[in-house]
Amino acid sequence: MINNKKIKQQGFSLMELMIVMAIISTLTVAVLVVGGKMFSSKQEIITDIAIAIPSAVSVCAKLHRGDLTTCNKSSLMRKVQTLKEKTVCGDTWTIAASATEVVLTYPLTSCSDADDIGAEVVEYVKELPRISTDISKTKYASKSLQITYLRK
C-alpha cells in the first residue's frame, strides 16, 4: 500500500535562501556607498580646514613677518597648491584676515548631510592648536562653518 501523506517541509528551499542573500547584499552595498560618501566628504573638509588652510596661513604669516592682514584667499592658494577654489560640496569659501586672526567661512550649503558634518568638524577642529575655542568665533551655523585661526 502507498502512503499518500504529505511530507512536512523542514527548513528553507534553496531559492528562498538565495532571494534573502540577494536582498541583504543589496542593502549592504547601499549602506556602504552612502556611508562612504559621507565619510569621505567629512574627511576632505577636515583636511581643508585642519591641514591645508592652516598650513597656508602659517606660510603666509612667515613670509610677511607675522602680518596676517596680507593673507587673502588668492595668496593662500598660491602658497599651498592643494587648496581648491571651491569646497568639497562645490561652494565658494572665503577668508578674512586681521592683525591677530584669520577667519575662514566654509559653506556647506550644497552638502546633503551638512548638519551632521558641520557639528562634527567644529568639535574636531576646536581640539587643534591655533584654533579659537570662543564659541562665537569658531562655529557651525546656517549651513556654514566659521573657523578662526589665531596668530602664533
Segment 51-92, tens digit of pLDDT: 788 888 888 888 878 788 888 888 888 877 778 888 888 899
Set of cell numbers at residue 138: 569658531
Share of the chain above pLDDT 90, in %: 1
Q: What is the largest CA-CA distance in the chain?
A: 106
Is 9 part of a structural domain of the chain? Answer: no
CA distance readout (Å), 115 to 69, 87, 139, 146, 147: 31, 15, 12, 14, 16
Helix, strand, or coil here: 143? coil
Q: In what order do the strands lie in the sheet with 144-150?
A: 94-97, 101-107, 144-150, 139-141
Compare 91 and 29 and report the one with higher pLDDT.
91
Is 8 part of a structural domain of the chain? Answer: no
- What is the pTM for the complete model shown? 0.66
| CA 46/CA 125 separation, integer angstroms | 8
83 φ/ψ sector (left φ>0, alpha ψ -120 to 50, else beta): beta
How high is the mean pLDDT of the chain? 81
What pLDDT sits at residue 1? 54
Say which residue the cell 574636531 belongs to: 124
Contact 139, 122 (CB under 8 A): yes
Is 135 part of a structural domain of the chain? Answer: yes
CA distance readout (Å), 64 to 70, 83, 103, 104: 7, 20, 18, 19
Is 113 part of a structural domain of the chain? Answer: yes
**pLDDT of 105 above 80:** yes
Banded model confidence at residue 9, pLDDT cuts 50, 70, 90:
low
Is 7 part of a structural domain of the chain? Answer: no
Is 79 part of a structural domain of the chain? Answer: yes
**pLDDT of 3 above 70:** no
Q: How many domains does the chain have?
A: 1
Is 3 part of a structural domain of the chain? Answer: no
Domain that holds residue 139: 14-150
Is 5 part of a structural domain of the chain? Answer: no
| CA 72/CA 57 separation, integer angstroms | 9
Banded model confidence at residue 36, pLDDT cuts 50, 70, 90:
low
